[in-house]
Amino acid sequence: MHWVDIFGYLAAVATFGTYSVRRMIPLRLMGMCANCLFIVYGLLAAAYPPLVLHTILLPLNAFRLREMLHLIDKVKAASQGDLNMEWLKPFMSTHSVTRGEVLFHKGDVSEVMFYTMTGRYRLHEIGQEIGPGQVVGEIGLIAPDNKRTLTFECIEDGELLTISYDQVKQLYFQNPAFGFYFLQLISKRLFKDIERLQQRAAHPA
């Protein structure tokens, strides 16, 4: 066996290792190690197909790793601040709404959550108006049977960003840290709702 082949075998072992890693960040790091080893092997052995392939895959893996690390930083910052979810915007889709449109009724099965960009909205059962820059519908992810607890209506034309619960779950499974901080955000919302109810009970109309 030529000494150059050692790099090829090490690259194969690293590639095999990626299949035993469950978390996304270690998987990307392992993949980048395999890419580097295959590049070295391709250069030394003049094996151009794997050289070209892994020269392309290396920056792609690096980009995805940076994207995930950036997301974690954003989630941490959000969990230590207000309930603004600016960090989710890149993962959300734009949806235009018109006055009088009901986004969901109380009791509906919930599948998405919203971020208000423009316009005005109302949560009917509690009489709360929602302006731009607010998150609505995240509680449905953990509610019993995923049922909506309020009715959400547009009272002034605007735009919403939406993300499905399936997408949120995918982000969670890609990195459990995301799920941890997302639950922190939901907890803050629940405590805020409890505080509002306590204030109402202490100062009835």
Output the DSSP codes for 101-133: -EEE-TTPBP-EEEEE-SSEEEEGGGTEEE-TT
Neighbours of 113 (CB within 10 A): 23
Q: Rounded distance, CA 131 to CA 121, Å?
A: 6
Query: What contacts 88, CB < 8 A, 6 or more positions away?
Result: 115, 161, 163
Packing angle of the helix pair 176-202, 48-80 (nearest 10 deg): 20
- Identify whether the C-beta of residue 28 lies closer than 8 Å to the C-beta of residue 59: no
The closest alpha carbon to 62, from 72, 54, 73, belongs to 54
Distances (CA, A) of 3 to 7, 45, 76, 118: 8, 10, 46, 63
- What is the reported pLDDT for 89? 78
Segment 14-38 shows an average pLDDT of: 87
Tens-digit pLDDT profile for residues 171-195: 777 666 666 667 776 777 777 777 7
Q: How much is the pLDDT for 85? A: 62
Pick the CATH number of 86-202 from 2.60.120.10, 3.40.50.10860, 3.40.50.360, 3.40.30.10: 2.60.120.10
Under the banding of pLDDT at 50, 70 and 90, the label for residue 102 is very high
| Concatenated DSSP letters of 48-65 | HHHHHHHHHHHHHHHHHH
Residue that the structure tokens 């019993």 belong to = 144
Q: How confident is the model at residue 6 (pLDDT cuts 50, 70, 90)?
A: confident
Distance CA(4)–CA(44), nearest Å, equals 7
* Radius of gyration, alpha carbons of the chain: 24
Domain boundaries, given as residue ranges, for the chain: 5-80, 86-202
Q: What is the pLDDT of residues 31-74, one digit of tens each?
A: 999 999 999 999 999 899 989 999 999 999 999 888 888 777 76
